[in-house]
Amino acid sequence: MNAQQTVEQLQNTSILYRIQVIEMLLQSLKEKIAENESSFEKEKTFSVRTFDLGTSALPDQEQIYLARGL
């Protein structure tokens, strides 16, 4: 049975049966999503490298505003 035949058969059934089919499909999707999320939950580790700039690197706000024309 192809998809079109399945849709036609569902259109000719009761609303209660259609709702049950939808609930089953949603439940299967929910389970698939849970499976996929568990594989994404593994966090990648990273390391932070620090370095010394040698001197203070604080920006001069007045120079920044003057360069912007403010």
Q: For the chain, how far is it from start to end, CA to CA, in angstroms?
A: 71
Cβ atoms 20, 28 nearer than 8 A:
no
pLDDT digits (tens, 9 = 90+) for 35-45: 877 666 667 78
Quote the tokens at residue 37. 């999320």
Global pTM reads: 0.47
Rounded Cα distance, 21 and 28, in Å: 11
pLDDT digits (tens, 9 = 90+) for 18-70: 999 999 999 999 998 888 776 666 677 888 888 777 777 777 888 888 888 76
The secondary structure of residue 49, as a DSSP letter, is P
